[in-house]
Amino acid sequence: MNYPEFEYSVIKPFENFPIIDFSDPEDERKMREALKKVESELGREYPIVIGGEEIYTEKKIVSINPARYEEVVGVVSKGTKELADKALEVAWKTFEEWKRWPAWKRAEILLKASKIMKERVYELSAWMVKEVGKNWVEAWADVAETIDYLEYYSRQMLKYMNGQPVVQIPGERNEYRYIPLGVGVVIPPWNFPLAILAGMTLASIVTGNTVILKPASDSPVIGYKFFEIMKEAGLPDGVINFLPGSGAEVGNYLVLHPKVRFIAFTGSKDVGLRINELAAKHQKGQIWIKRVILEMGGKDAVVVDETADLEAAAEGIVASAYGFQGQKCSAGSRAIIVKDVYDKVVELVIEKAKKLKIGDPTEKENWFGPVINNAAVQKIMGYIEIGKKEGKLALGGNYLGEQMKGFFIEPTIFIDVPPDARIAQEEIFGPVLAIIKAEDFDDALRIANSTEYGLTGALYSKSKERIERAKEEFHVGNLYFNRKCTGALVGVQPFGGFNMSGTDSKAGGPDYLLLFMQGKSISERIV
């Protein structure tokens, strides 16, 4: 292929950006400097941006540090329905030009943004420590995943830029192209405030669409930092329109709007189903069936059989359940253990969970931080009360916010939980682990598949036969053996689940970009 004026005409094969553990003193020094820089910028005000125009509104979204709930991270202008209309108008006008940009040129902007992000990886990590309470490694991994999306989707777009080969017949020239959909709305979550926000947005724009980006109200500052980087990389005004706002007002209005062509959403099952319902209803003047791309929740299980390495299994259970305080759709919130090794694994899991260092993640040693906000505290503590009636509280269960001045809940473990208990069926999205005893491997697999979700799962076993069987019968979108059930890598483990976990999309996979395009068949008679 010939890519004129293409700075990255010789592109190396995709490689994941490395994740570090900050054991190197130089990495620690750079992170502490980045945290100081971020702390000097706390409390700043950020605008809505539509077509390059910065707009400040009277109503604001105040973003706070969940580890220090008296600390304001930033103040962001709050969008309205009128501004949503303006953003749609600008996005459609920009789309007419953006869709004509060569695919390689759109990809080039992503690669330039990747370069900028690599230079600012410590700073962006520090913003996540402050705005959503991620520990250093989790925050770094979030930025690394974002860099991976920039690199991976740019390369994938170059593969699709010439369409697909079709059968040729005498007297005709036939081709099959991909064209963009139009204007979409991107509604990301707060728990991966850079990676998931960027992943859905980048897939939208590299394929030729323009978008309205409505960041989560708990993490709008990080969303704005992403927007700034894309602009610095050369993205034209109006391709991404930054519109923070409430889901009830701005979100629902955009989902229903007849001029919205597609919606990309990641979040809870209830909100996802509501979006799907609203988007399915035809509106006056709407000339398409809206495309909806949903990634929702999970009630993910780590299964341990009697052949497993029990020490490794316990490590995996704790990492899966409590990474980022269990605030991941991929979190292993159920541990299903066969009875022969149940007591030993429970003992090991409790022992390891007790060692988790709780505190403000600004400090490197604090692996376990806060949950996101007071509403999350109320929900999680409500489930803990339910759990006390359904199983046996073996560890934790307390809210530590009064003394710590942040939204801290102890790592919590319930044992002897019935498979059909609410804490074993419903997504809690917090540091609550339900441990379930299974009679044998058959029973464990049945229990693992007994929820309405199907996102991630893990099996610890040394049995090749059981591993092969689980490949066929463990019904999840991302299945892992003898490792934790979180931490999917772009390009390596395309991410997305079945059933109530979403619309079967696979972010970071070879077919994800197809969700943001439509096929066009062209036939020309040869005269």
Alpha helices (H) along 120-165? 121-132, 136-160
Q: What is the pLDDT of residues 300-321, one digit of tens each?
A: 999 999 999 999 999 999 999 9
- Give the closest residue to 282 by CA, choosing from 304, 315, 312, 260: 260
Q: What is the pLDDT of residues 235-267, one digit of tens each?
A: 999 999 999 999 989 999 999 999 999 999 999
pLDDT band at 11 (very low <50, low <70, confident <90, very high): confident
Which residue type is seen at 523? S
Number of separate domains in the chain: 2
- Give the closest residue to 386 by CA, choosing from 355, 426, 422: 422
User: Checking DSSP bridges between strand 240-242 and strand 210-213, what pairing results, if any?
Assistant: parallel
Q: What is the pLDDT of residues 357-381, one digit of tens each?
A: 999 999 999 999 999 999 999 999 9
Can you say whether the dihedral through the CA atoms of 177, 183, 186, 187 is positive or negative?
Answer: negative
- Radius of gyration over every alpha carbon of the chain, rounded to an integer in angstroms: 23
**Catalytic pick among 151, 329, 427, 485:** 329
Residue at 120 is within a domain: yes
CATH number at 286 reads 3.40.605.10
User: Are 287 and 365 found together in one domain?
Assistant: no
Residue at 192 is within a domain: yes
Is pTM beyond 0.95? Reply is yes
User: Are 241 and 306 found together in one domain?
Assistant: no
Residue at 61 is within a domain: no
Whether residue 390 is predicted with pLDDT greater than 60 in this model: the reply is yes
User: Are 263 and 153 found together in one domain?
Assistant: yes
- Structural domain that includes position 346: 301-489
Residue at 183 is within a domain: yes
**Catalytic pick among 295, 410, 427, 485:** 295
Tell me if residue 295 is catalytic. yes
Whether residue 6 is predicted with pLDDT greater than 60 in this model: the reply is no
User: Are 310 and 205 found together in one domain?
Assistant: no
Helix (H, G, I), strand (E, B) or coil at 199: helix
- Long-range contacts of range 341-347, CB-CB < 8 Å, 24 or more positions apart? 341/304, 341/305, 341/306, 341/308, 341/310, 342/437, 344/310, 345/304, 345/310, 345/313, 345/314, 345/317, 346/394, 346/415, 346/435
pLDDT at res. 9: 52
User: Are 185 and 266 found together in one domain?
Assistant: yes
CATH number at 436 reads 3.40.309.10
Residue at 123 is within a domain: yes
User: Are 285 and 306 found together in one domain?
Assistant: no
User: Are 100 and 210 found together in one domain?
Assistant: yes
Q: What is the pLDDT of residues 31-65, one digit of tens each?
A: 999 999 999 999 999 999 999 999 999 999 999 99
